[in-house]
């Protein structure tokens, strides 16, 4: 209300004149013929004095109109606004950084400069673990501004993991109250689970004790989640119940970040010459992974030399008629896990074929695990007095064995 403009004085004149008129009427009892003065008489010069007072009243009122001011106080009846921070989702990415952008908003604009502090806080996402970059500071809302943004850097990776969260917390409000003081940022994982595979293994057999076949179980990449997979041995030509290896099963655990584990299977030594034997290790029940190669072959490489075949000389007393049997024993130096065979044929010496013995030939077979076999030769009897005669049995073509230096 500006009262300094000239037309303001014009507007003030009517009330001033009215005020002066009231003063004049108030003086009437003192100036009229019925005026009652002390001691019942009007003092000399009183009428002139009162008229002068009336004139001064009019003049004073006129001067007051020149400086009149009215202070208008508008008492604000509005509460301060409140401030809230929203929640955001951001796709993680595989490398570099992306931004989680929080919006901090006032419930209404304010005529005051509004300030509030902000700071990030770990949830499942950890700044120290590289999931995001910490951020903190103060937000100033100039009068009339209702919202501001707070970007927070989120770091990408290639780990399969669950969605993770962190927070943006508000504090120290000025000219504002905090309504929603915590915003949640959800980092959405975008990585596939790694696969798991098991590799073949082989071990050279020992003669005593055990040797381990080491199977590598590997993930295609690291994971942010704990991974487990079960394993179990399965008989092949190697049979656990026969003592070839020690059956085993269990659960393989990969803590987050681990990509390789080893499964050991004990293989039992022996001295049997045998074929290489194999068994399998199977994977099953993968957790937080899938199986890309679920069966590995374990090969037990035999380290035993083939046995030697040896024969002893034999003698037989000739009969007078018909034939009698001469038995020739062939032996192996050690039992074998393989079938051993060797060819034989009789060879005449001073004894003549047919006249003194029945020629024979064939293949002598030692079933696996046996060490002794016999060849029977028919000796022809006669009544002729004669020197001791001899013939021989020649061995050749040994299979899964060698011939000893000493012949039979």
Positions touching Ca ion (CB under 5 A) are 92, 94, 157, 159, 161, 189-191, 205, 207, 270, 272, 274, 302-304
Q: Smallest distance, Å, CB 275 to Ca ion? A: 9
Q: For Ca ion, which is the closer residue by CB, 91 or 352?
A: 91
Beta pairing partners, 263: 215
- Return d(Cα 90, Cα 185) in angstroms, integer: 7
Q: For Ca ion, which is the closer residue by CB, 105 or 185?
A: 185
Q: Smallest distance, Å, CB 117 to Ca ion? A: 31
Q: For Ca ion, which is the closer residue by CB, 115 or 165?
A: 165
Q: For Ca ion, which is the closer residue by CB, 119 or 127?
A: 127
Cβ–Cβ under 8 Å, residues 154 and 131? yes
Cβ–Cβ under 8 Å, residues 200 and 299? yes
Q: For Ca ion, which is the closer residue by CB, 28 or 239?
A: 239
Measure the CA angle with vertex 52, ends 50 and 54; round to 5°.
70
Q: Smallest distance, Å, CB 100 to Ca ion? A: 15
Q: For Ca ion, which is the closer residue by CB, 141 or 166?
A: 166
What's the number of CA atoms in the CB half-sphere (13 Å) around residue 208? 0
Q: Smallest distance, Å, CB 195 to Ca ion? A: 16
Q: Smallest distance, Å, CB 268 to Ca ion? A: 9
Q: For Ca ion, which is the closer residue by CB, 304 or 343?
A: 304
Q: Smallest distance, Å, CB 395 to Ca ion? A: 24
Q: Smallest distance, Å, CB 302 to Ca ion? A: 4
Q: Smallest distance, Å, CB 305 to Ca ion? A: 9
- Return d(Cα 126, Cα 134) in angstroms, integer: 9
Q: For Ca ion, which is the closer residue by CB, 277 or 318?
A: 277
């Amino acid at each position: 209300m500006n009262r300094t403009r000239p037309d303001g004085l014009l507007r003030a004149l009517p009330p001033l004149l009215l005020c002066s008129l009231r003063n004049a009427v108030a003086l009437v009892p003192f100036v009229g013929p019925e005026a009652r003065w002390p001691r019942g008489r009007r003092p000399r010069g009183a009428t002139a004095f009162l008229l002068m007072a009336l004139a001064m009243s009019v003049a004073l009122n006129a001067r007051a109109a020149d400086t009149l001011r009215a202070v208008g106080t508008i008492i604000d009846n509005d509460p301060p606004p409140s401030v809230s921070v929203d929640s955001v989702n951001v796709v993680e990415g595989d490398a570099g950084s992306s931004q989680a952008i929080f919006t901090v908003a006032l419930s209404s604009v304010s005529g005051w400069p509004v300030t509030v502090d902000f700071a990030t806080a770990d949830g499942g996402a950890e700044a120290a673990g590289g999931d995001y970059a910490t951020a903190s500071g103060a937000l100033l809302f100039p009068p009339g501004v209702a919202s501001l943004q707070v970007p927070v850097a989120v770091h990408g990776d290639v780990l399969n993991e669950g969605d993770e969260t962190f927070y943006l917390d508000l504090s120290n409000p000025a000219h504002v109250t905090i309504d929603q003081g915590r915003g949640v940022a959800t980092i959405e994982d975008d990585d596939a689970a790694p696969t798991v595979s098991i590799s073949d293994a082989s071990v050279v057999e020992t003669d005593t004790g055990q040797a381990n076949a080491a199977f590598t179980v590997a993930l295609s990449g690291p994971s942010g989640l704990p991974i487990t997979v079960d394993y179990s041995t399965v008989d092949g030509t190697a049979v656990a119940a026969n003592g070839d290896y020690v059956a085993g099963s269990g659960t393989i655990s990969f803590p987050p970040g681990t990509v390789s584990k080893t499964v050991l299977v004990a293989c039992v030594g022996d001295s049997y010459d045998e074929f290489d034997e194999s068994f399998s290790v199977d994977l099953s029940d993968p957790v937080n992974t899938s199986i890309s190669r679920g069966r590995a072959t374990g090969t037990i490489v035999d380290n035993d030399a083939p046995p030697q075949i040896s024969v002893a000389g034999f003698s037989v007393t000739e009969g007078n008629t018909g034939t009698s049997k001469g038995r020739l024993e062939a032996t192996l130096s050690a039992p074998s896990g393989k079938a051993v065979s060797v060819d034989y044929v009789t060879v005449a010496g001073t004894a003549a074929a047919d006249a003194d013995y029945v020629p024979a030939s064939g293949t002598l077979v030692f079933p696996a695990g046996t060490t002794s076999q016999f060849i029977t030769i028919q000796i022809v009897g006669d009544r002729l007095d004669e020197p001791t005669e001899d013939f021989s049995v020649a061995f050749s073509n040994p299979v899964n064995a060698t011939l000893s230096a000493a012949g039979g």
